[in-house]
Structures are given as structure tokens and as C-alpha cells.
């Protein structure tokens, strides 16, 4: 479903060369994600700001996976990280994901190309609160790919995500 945002063709993007992305209008609600750095599409002062509605209107992915942070498998839903990067015209090779408490980790852009990494906004079908590691959580499909069940990929999951810098 396309909301008030118009579709624009984005050619020659490194992530998905022939795909389309939503034009970034200014967020109406509270900003939940800021993307900066090597991006070509912004909506305020050289930054790409997203409110929750903007993320909700992007194509959504879901999977159920086990993680070290929850008892039992949980279902995560949100836009794919590669779609978020495409929407902002990301041109870098590394991402710096930063959480509310200023924790940050570097994630290779290759992870977004290779794996269905989600910027999760729902946990078991419900919005995540800050207390529940939300409102956004970078999540990998650990149960779909055994190679991901390692400390390296666990460390790249960023809960309470607030910003991504494309480097």
C-alpha cells in the first residue's frame, strides 16, 4: 500500500539496482530512526529521519527465531535493513548502529545484502517498548542460518536502535 509518499525509481544503488523506494517526506510523528553519513536521499538537514509510520509503510518481513535475549523463539517484524538503506540511497560499506544508551556496533553493509536482517518494530505482533528492547531492534534470522548463531552476529543486533551512520 502506498500512502502519501510517492514512489520514485532509484537507479544504480549498490544494494538493489533496479528497485524502487519511497520518497522521504518529513516525518509527522516522533522520530524513531535517524540515518546519516553516505546517503543520497534525506528529508531534513542532510539526514534521513523516520517516524514509526514511515517504517510501517515500507514492505515488512517477519520471522520467528531464538535469541540469547528472550526465553524461547520470538517473532520479529519490520522492514528489511537493506530496504531502509535503499530508501536513503546508502553508498557505504559499513554501518554504525547506535542505541539509546549510546552503545554502538559496526555492521557490514554486506550483512544487509546477504541476510534478511530486519529493523524489527514488532515483537510477537506487538510494538516493542523501550523496556522490551524497542522501539527498534536490529535482528538477524538466527534459526534460518546456523552460521549466524555466533557471538559475532549476536553482537551486531542492536536493541533500542536510534540511529544508523552509513560509512
Domain segments of the chain: what residues? Answer: 29-166
What CATH class has 29-166?
alpha beta
- Residue 102 pLDDT more than 80? yes
Alpha-carbon distances, residue 29 vs 25, 26, 33, 69 (angstroms): 12, 9, 11, 29
Tell me the per-residue pLDDT of 104-113, one tens digit each, with 9 for 90 and over: 999 999 999 9
Tell me the per-residue pLDDT of 127-166, one tens digit each, with 9 for 90 and over: 999 999 999 999 999 999 999 999 999 999 999 999 999 9
Q: Average pLDDT, stretch 95-110?
A: 97
Q: Could you tell me the pTM of the whole model?
A: 0.86
* 167 neighbors 35 (Cβ within 8 angstroms): no
Strands 118-120 vs 137-139: parallel, antiparallel or unpaired: antiparallel
Number of neighbours of residue 37 by Cβ within 10 angstroms? 19
Residue 80 binned pLDDT confidence (cut-offs 50, 70, 90): very high
Amino acid at each position: 500500500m502506498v500512502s502519501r509518499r510517492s514512489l520514485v525509481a532509484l537507479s544504480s544503488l549498490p544494494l538493489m539496482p533496479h528497485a524502487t523506494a519511497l520518497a522521504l517526506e518529513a516525518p509527522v510523528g516522533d522520530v524513531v530512526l535517524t540515518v546519516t553519513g553516505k546517503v543520497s536521499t534525506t528529508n531534513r538537514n542532510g539526514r534521513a529521519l523516520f517516524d514509526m509510520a514511515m517504517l510501517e509503510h515500507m514492505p515488512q518481513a517477519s520471522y520467528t527465531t531464538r535469541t540469547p535475549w528472550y526465553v524461547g523463539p520470538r517473532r520479529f517484524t519490520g522492514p528489511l535493513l537493506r530496504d531502509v538503506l535503499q530508501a536513503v540511497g546508502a553508498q557505504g560499506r559499513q554501518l554504525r548502529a547506535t542505541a539509546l544508551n549510546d552503545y554502538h556496533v559496526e555492521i557490514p553493509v554486506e550483512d544487509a545484502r546477504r541476510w534478511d536482517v530486519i529493523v524489527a518494530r514488532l515483537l510477537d505482533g506487538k510494538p516493542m517498548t523501550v523496556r522490551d528492547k524497542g522501539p527498534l531492534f536490529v535482528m538477524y534470522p538466527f534459526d534460518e542460518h546456523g552460521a549466524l548463531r555466533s557471538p559475532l552476529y549476536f553482537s551486531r543486533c542492536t536493541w533500542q536502535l536510534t540511529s544508523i551512520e552509513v560509512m
